[in-house]
Amino acid sequence: MTHKNLALELLKKILNDEIRTRSRTNLVKSKKFLEMLETAIKKYQNNLLTTAQIIEELIKIAKEVKESDKEGEKLGLSTSEVAFYNALEINDSAVKVLGDETLKIIAREIADKVKRNATIDWTIRESARAKLMVLVKRTLTKYGYPPDKQQKAIDTVLRQAELLADSLVNI
């Protein structure tokens, strides 16, 4: 390839756009992909990778992004349910204790509750936000989500809910 730097910049821009698109629906995955992209770019800027190696690395990240789109089909979850599943899955001890099936059930239930309780101004109104937080906490407790990581999970789920509620209300 004669214009490797041009190919690199184009690939970087396309990947960045794809990650930004996913950040509107899946907070956890988009953050993970963005970190992978930034790490790869830093390695390249510090001359730890050649241009050919960074292009290979970016292609690998692009394949992971594409593979993550199929995650919902594999798990039998909708896009919003996958987003909540990923938010709950960040806690390794929860995955070990509860297992995938229970996390899927929790993700479905939380997605349903967010859809039913999404209002135009819920992200602004503290009472609506508090109500959703209580619903999420009750759901996690109901299924035995590990209490040591529960607050972090609730915060992540609420941030994810904000993203999804915006798209639900704007429809």
Could you tell me which residues come within 8 angstroms of residue 2 by beta carbon, excluding any fewer than 6 positions away?
Answer: none
Section 60-66 average pLDDT: 93
120 or 150: whose pLDDT is higher? 150
* Total-model pTM: 0.83
Sign of CA dihedral 23, 151, 74, 61: positive
pLDDT tens sequence across 109-130: 999 988 887 666 665 677 777 8
Average pLDDT, the chain: 86
Q: Where are the domains of the chain?
A: 4-69, 75-169
* Amino acid 99: pLDDT: 84
Section 25-53 average pLDDT: 92
